[in-house]
Amino acid sequence: MSIFIQNVFLRGKNTNVYAENNRITYIGGETRKADICIDGSNKAIFPTLVNGHTHAAMSLFRGYGDDMPLQEWLSQKIWPAEAKLTQEDVYWGTKLACLEMIKSGTTLFNDMYWHFHGTARAVEEMGLRAVVCSVFIDFFQESKASSQQKESETLYAESRQYSSRIQFGLGPHALYTVSGKSLSWIKEFAMDKNLLIHFHLSETQQEIEECLKAHNMLPVEYLDSLNFLCPLLVACHAVYVEDKELDILKNNKVSLVHNPTSNLKLGGGKIFRYPQIKDRNIPFCVGTDGCASNNNLSMLEAMKFAALLQKWAHRDTTLLSAQEIWETATEKAHRIFHVDAGKIEVGKLADFMLVDKKHILMIPDHNTISNLVYSASPGVIDTVVCDGKILMEKGKVDGEEEIIAKASEVAKRIAFSGTTL
């Protein structure tokens, strides 16, 4: 399988890009024969985006119980609906999410949810990449901990049936839902098998207060005391972290995921500590979180929220520039998830997109990256390629009508409510 893209805009000039099997093998003026030829005129080629934290199947809950008090929303809306979800529901919910991510230029995401195989099957069929992390929650009960550990081992073994696009990851939910003993077990298992760990860290004030009460330590200090911190850990949110905790995260080579839209919608009151995190050179990327708390999966939008919030909070218009957030969401994010993509270069995986340079949100073209970060919405993306295969061409994805119909059916059934307005 080979793809030849002719006359496409890359780093300031027009060129040709050739991908063979799943890697970019040539960039330059020559013409190459290929199975698929794409006219790149009026298009720019860019690496695809990485969604650093989501719960894909929760796309089924887009707009379900918005604007409610947090606990009421969870207990009356989300948890009862989640309790009804089958693996097949998760499969369709994840397909809906994958479709939206493809359309907004994302081809790699870090997921945490129930029904591992529902998610993995959907990703496999849709052609993206994902770190699929099975939720691990033991509520501090020995028997639950033991069954969750067994499940992790089983799912890890079973995950090998999928292609290399799917990485099995461990998904300990948070320190208020997983015992210290289980966290230690997870760290050992992860190190033994080289698996990424996906974790919610210091998202709310309540979490900090409870941790201080229970352990007389801040969350990061507590996790450090368990020897849980390691380079395989990807900690999401981390808005309520103190300087001394950032030092510990830095020393243990932990990566962070900033979810600006979700932090706003869930009423956090704190902001990702970008200047302090950049000072320490702690790796971080950006995520959307699930659709229930965002309510979309657009990394284009998430980049804008992230970049603008920092300028505003620190009264500095130069902070977290378009170029920097772009590199964070592409090259640096791929590195965090151990995927050799994120740059249009010979030798890199063929994960890229073609952007319509004549789309109104890209006009005028003073700065294409600025336009992508601060102006664009999903409609600017014309073509998406992942692992050397075309997932979207001219804005169309195979089978999208069926996905929309099936996911709508599932959402209606689990919510016990039709359209409200």
Q: Which of residues 254-283 bind a second copy (CB under 8 A)?
A: 261, 263-269
Minimum separation from the CB atom of position 414 to a second copy (A): 10
Judged by CB under 8 A, the residue of 34, 36, 369, 390 near a second copy is: 369
205: DSSP letter: H
Find the part of the chain contacting a second copy (CB under 8 A) among 15-23, 33-41, 211-219, 307-315. Answer: 307-315
Q: 386: closest CA among 356, 352, 354?
A: 352
CB of 199 within 8 A of CB of 236? yes
Binding mask 370-389 for a second copy (x = CB under 8 A): xx--xx-xxx----------
Q: Tokens for 140?
A: 């501090």
Q: CB-wise, 184 or 323, nearer to a second copy? A: 323
What residues does 285 pair with on adjacent strands?
A: 257
Q: 368: closest CA among 378, 359, 360, 357?
A: 357
Backbone angles phi, psi at 279, to 5 degrees: -50, -40
Q: Does 416 bind a second copy (CB under 8 A)?
A: no
Q: CB-wise, 187 or 357, nearer to a second copy? A: 357
Q: Does 328 bind a second copy (CB under 8 A)?
A: no
Question: Is it true that the peptide bond before 364 is cis, omega within 30 degrees of 0?
Answer: yes
Minimum separation from the CB atom of position 210 to a second copy (A): 17
Residue with tokens 């964070």: 328
Q: Does 115 bind a second copy (CB under 8 A)?
A: no
DSSP string, 24-51: EEEEES-----SEEEE-TTEEEEEPEEE
CB of 47 within 8 A of CB of 342? yes
Q: Tokens for 129?
A: 């990449």
Q: Does 318 bind a second copy (CB under 8 A)?
A: yes
Q: Does 394 bind a second copy (CB under 8 A)?
A: no
Q: Does 366 bind a second copy (CB under 8 A)?
A: yes
Judged by CB under 8 A, the residue of 365, 396, 398, 399 near a second copy is: 365
Minimum separation from the CB atom of position 358 to a second copy (A): 6
Q: Does 298 bind a second copy (CB under 8 A)?
A: yes
Report how far apart, in Å, the C-alpha atoms of 192 and of each of 100, 165, 185, 186 are. 35, 21, 11, 10
Find the part of the chain contacting a second copy (CB under 8 A) among 30-38, 166-174, 246-254, 355-363. Answer: 355-363
CB of 109 within 8 A of CB of 82? no
Find the part of the chain contacting a second copy (CB under 8 A) among 117-125, 207-215, 343-351, 408-416. Answer: 408-416
Q: Which of residues 36-95 bind a second copy (CB under 8 A)?
A: 60-70, 73
Judged by CB under 8 A, the residue of 157, 191, 214, 363 near a second copy is: 363
> Tell me, what amino acid is at 98?
C
Minimum separation from the CB atom of position 344 to a second copy (A): 12
Judged by CB under 8 A, the residue of 148, 152, 179, 294 near a second copy is: 294
Judged by CB under 8 A, the residue of 278, 321, 346, 393 near a second copy is: 321
Q: Does 313 bind a second copy (CB under 8 A)?
A: yes
Size of the site for a second copy (CB under 8 A): 78
Rounded distance, CA 342 to CA 345, Å? 9
Rounded distance, CA 71 to CA 91, Å? 27
Rounded distance, CA 369 to CA 384, Å? 17
Radius of gyration of the chain (CA): 21
Report how far apart, in Å, the C-alpha atoms of 64 and of each of 1, 72, 82, 87, 173 are. 42, 12, 12, 20, 22
Rounded distance, CA 414 to CA 418, Å? 10
Minimum separation from the CB atom of position 8 to a second copy (A): 14
Q: Which of residues 230-259 bind a second copy (CB under 8 A)?
A: none
Judged by CB under 8 A, the residue of 57, 122, 322, 353 near a second copy is: 322
Q: CB-wise, 308 or 390, nearer to a second copy? A: 308
Judged by CB under 8 A, the residue of 48, 202, 295, 328 near a second copy is: 295
Find the part of the chain contacting a second copy (CB under 8 A) among 136-144, 183-191, 294-302, 345-353. Answer: 294-302
